[in-house]
Structure 1
Amino acid sequence: MSGAAEPSPEGEAEGRRLVLDIGGTKIAAGVCTPGQPSVRHRATRPTRPRRGGAAVVETALELAREVARKAGGPLAGVAAASAGVIDRATGTVVSATDLMPGWAGTALGPALAEALGVPAFVLNDVHAHALGEMRFGAGAGLRNALVAAVGTGIGGAIVAEGKVLFGPRNLAGHVGHVGHRLGEGFACSCGRDGHIEPVASGTGVVRLYRSRGGSPDVNDGAELRRLADRGDVEAQRAFSDAGAALGEALGSLANCLDPEAIVLSGSLSGVGEYWWAPLRAGYRRQAMDPVRGVPLVRGTLGGDAPLLGALAYAAEFQEEECTR
């Protein structure tokens, strides 16, 4: 770790970990203590993923060093939530979509461990998001849930009997890559056609709006939301149709998974009833009778969810290792 460490703040518990969330839009970092749902010494930087994987890693390392210096004192480890399919045993990005070009093959865990001189743990960002919400947020106390993060893309995670399901290829929970008729003719970031992500994510709803003749000057979901909030009919229609399609996809998944609740987070979860009402209606259209009443709830942790989830994952992983 470069730079002199400042004295540890009085009363700060041992076992602190530096936590990172590396997404397609921004990289967030902070320091957490196991068992405590709070993030300290926060800092963020834009990801700028088009620069390629090596540049993104360097930005993440610079941010991590900055936060470590700000926090001062010893760190027990670093835990990172990252976009892409992650080999959790090695901390390597196995594959990634076009939202993160050049990210596949990145040895993120080893880079973090070498830079900070502490053990590093890496998992997929939405798997981490789910762990955060289930341990400390909207899903606290539940054993079975489906978590969907609807932001730049659409990610998801399945929680069964209190555990996130990773799958043998660490691919489980990719909600955004479920097929839906609204996505037909729209290329997905994974290279396929007809998935829900390219029309119902934050970037997708803009594509949907512009494909129908909407203003080409609208470049992101925040701009489109401002139009919708001002009563723009076409902007509201894009959000409504995207919400309904996502709701139908979630209803189909509920038929398979039988969750206690579906937790939705990410930037689109903050959109108004012109998104939420069609989402709920779409869900009810597809959900079988036994799961029609499953609550669709908004996550409570916001951007802290993946950071706290990464912390929980690292702590639980080490605890399991100690009991073997």
Structure 2
Amino acid sequence: MVTQCFNVIALIDATVMNQVHVTSPMLCSILRYVLYISYLTTIFMTCAITIHLWLVITRRRLTQANHIERWYYIAPFTLALLLSATMATIPTSVYHVKSRCVRVSIPSSEYYGLRWGFYYSWFVVASAISFYCMSRILHSTRQLAHTTHLRINRQLSSTEAYRNQVNARANSERLRSLAFYTVAYPAISFVSHFPTVLQETLSFILNRELNWLDFASRCILACEGFLLSLAFFLYPAVRQSIRDLVNSAVQYWVIDQEEFWQLQREREKHQRGRRDYVGIDDARLEEKILRDFTSRRGRIYHFIFSKTPEGRLATHM
């Protein structure tokens, strides 16, 4: 989710820089280096994902992975901030450009060297680390799936042996699924950022504008957030968690809410003085439920969740 936030910031920033005519050099510098911070943070955070999985699956160091978990957020953002701040302090004369609002189609040797020193070299290093961790993770996953997948024994001696066999098969499938969806993150990051590196390198070597490659690289880079979201939400555990959350929300904001109002209408019709909502006699709890269901938030939640497949099923039961 943090990576997605930085991708959204980068997309908004790039849209403003490309579609809005910025006249202030200070504002343009701020937008450009916010863009650098966002892209570098996404690169380093996808690298941190593979390092974490490498520690858990390959190295089996669960305690160490838990202890350094906070650094998965601190280190990428701090490193991206320092690198971008260093690039911001370099004057425009060193880049051989009049203003940083100008998009450089054919980079000079100074501009190209600084970009490699503070941006692309770190992308190469992070990608190399990610690919190494990915290879080790896939190798370890194959070994673990082979060892946990027990051989089929036609003469099972007990129910416990059968249960162990089923659990081993399920665990190996979950492990392969986890490795596949998780190693997709650094692969998506590399595929998204590599065309930009290729475009700038070729335009520098050939000394000519490559407008078609520049347009394609910017489109692919803008799709990074969508591809990462797709990889995240296609993971079976995430989809199951979303279904559980939706089911819980439907239970409270659709089923319980309609049952509550049905009881309220029956009580008003028969002029009962007692409280009979789901067998609970606590007046404070009923007042809280009444506030929830009569509020604007309650009406909005009821409308939204009643339109989901689970909500439609609940309302027709």
For the criterion TM > 0.5, the same-fold answer is no
- TM-score, normalising length: structure 2: 0.30
Bigger Cα Rg: 2
Flag the structure with higher strand content.
Answer: 1
Flag the structure with higher helix content.
Answer: 2
